[in-house]
Amino acid sequence: MKTIFLALFFSVVARLGEDCIMIFWNLENLFTTSVRFYEKINRVAKHIFIASEGNLPVIIGVSEIENFQVAWRLVNVTALARGEYGIVHAESPDHRGIDVALFYKKERFKVLYRKFKPVINREGELVRTRSILYAKGVLDYLDTLHLFVMHWPSKWGGERASAPLREAAAAALSGEVDSILAINPSANIIAMGDLNEEAAFISPMVQPLNILSPVKRGAQGTIKYNGKWETIDHFLISANMMNNLEPVFCTDTSSFIYSHPHLLEKDRAYLGVKPRRSFIGPRYNGGISDHLPVVLRVTRSW
């Protein structure tokens, strides 16, 4: 017992002052049916490593993966295997058959509870979209974190017609957040995901969470649609996480968009560049995703 206690003590001490890197990335239809599946997941792993500035992130959130087997292979047969990640995943009711997943470094984050929240519309009907992933855990044996990974409904069918579906997803998230804050108003909450809307539209719907505006490093958004850059992939945090007197906290510049020449291609229809997607219709395009990842550095003060 004494040996176990000492090992735990020194493990905690070793992590004091070590920041926690988180990444979210929409992986654009990551299916095993693609003949280039292993090529793609190895490239994903490479860029996650680079985006984390040479350290594997503690938390990785992804969307548009096919199933648990895809999630398992991503963190077990690539360079990410060194991170010894645990996986939180469940099949969603999405009509396209795509899911969200959370990967966590088991040496630094212990999952205490997990669940998947379905999205229900105003009529009380299930929306056939991605469920909202929730995981409660402890970072470095010290700090409780509440994590959400999301992929809200797209604008397919028109922005106005599809808006109620995203509003339903926002309501599902807000209900979970309100329940957490009712028990602990100082809870540390981090939500991440492809919300298919920019911050100005989302902000009124997700209070009391704050949307971090990511620093733009090269790219001017996370996607480019009809020649216009948009930031629709976000990190949202609770008010307590903006308090730099807390053991873990974020600042206005804690989040950034990761960009790399290998993730971009020339925009032949418009000026500049755009994310290089995997497929254009049935044609293989050689890229990883039509989204760029967003990165969050959670600072540890002690």
Q: What percent of the chain has pLDDT over 70?
A: 94
Residue 2 in any domain: the answer is: no
pLDDT at 216: 86
Answer for the pair 206, 174: CB distance below 8 angstroms, yes or no: yes
Q: What is the pLDDT of residues 156-198, one digit of tens each?
A: 888 988 999 999 999 999 999 999 999 999 999 999 999 999 9
Q: What is the structure's pLDDT at 168?
A: 97
Residue 52 lies in a domain: yes
- Measured CA to CA, the distance from residue 61 to residue 298 in angstroms comes to 15
Q: What pLDDT is recorded for position 17?
A: 59
- The residue whose two tokens read 């990967």 is 103
Residue 187 lies in a domain: yes
Is residue 7 a part of any domain in this protein? no
Domain count, the chain: 1
Q: How far apart are CA 70 and CA 228, in angstroms?
A: 31
Lowest mean pLDDT among 28-37, 97-106, 224-233: 28-37
Which pair of tokens denotes residue 288? 């990883």
Rounded-to-integer distance, Cα 170 and Cα 254, Å: 23
Neighbours of 138 (CB within 10 A): 14
Give the structural domain span for 68.
17-300
Q: What is the pLDDT of residue 282?
A: 84
Contacts of 247 (CB under 8 A, 6+ apart): 142, 143, 300, 301, 302
* pLDDT at 302 > cutoff 80: no
pLDDT at 33: 79
Q: Is residue 137 part of a domain?
A: yes
Q: What is the pLDDT of residue 193?
A: 99
Flag whether pLDDT at 13 surpasses 70: no
Percent of the chain with pLDDT over 90: 85
Q: Higher-confidence residue: 286 or 24? A: 24
The mean pLDDT of 124-147, rounded to a whole number, is: 97
pLDDT band at 8 (very low <50, low <70, confident <90, very high): very low
| Per-residue confidence (pLDDT) for residue 42, from 0 to 100 | 98
Calculate mean pLDDT across residues 242-246.
Answer: 94
Question: Which one, of 186, 167, 174, 190, lies nearest residue 61 by Cα?
Answer: 190
Beta bridge partners of 27: none
Structure tokens at 253: 């510049």
Question: Could you identify the residue written with the tokens 């205490």?
Answer: 112
CB-CB contact of 289 with 249 (8 Å): no
Cα(228)–Cα(239) distance, integer angstroms: 31
pLDDT at 34: 72
pLDDT band at 2 (very low <50, low <70, confident <90, very high): very low
Residue 5 lies in a domain: no
For residue 248, which amino acid is it?
V
User: Rounded to two decimals, what is the model's pTM?
Assistant: 0.94
Averaged confidence pLDDT in the chain? 93
- Gap between the Cα atoms of 135 and 111, Å rounded: 7
CATH code (residue 113) = 3.60.10.10
Is position 157 within any domain?
A: yes
Give the pLDDT of residue 6. 37
Task: Please check whether residue 248 lies inside any domain of the structure.
Answer: yes
User: In terms of DSSP bridges, do strands 85-89 and 99-105 run parallel, antiparallel, or are they unpaired?
Assistant: antiparallel
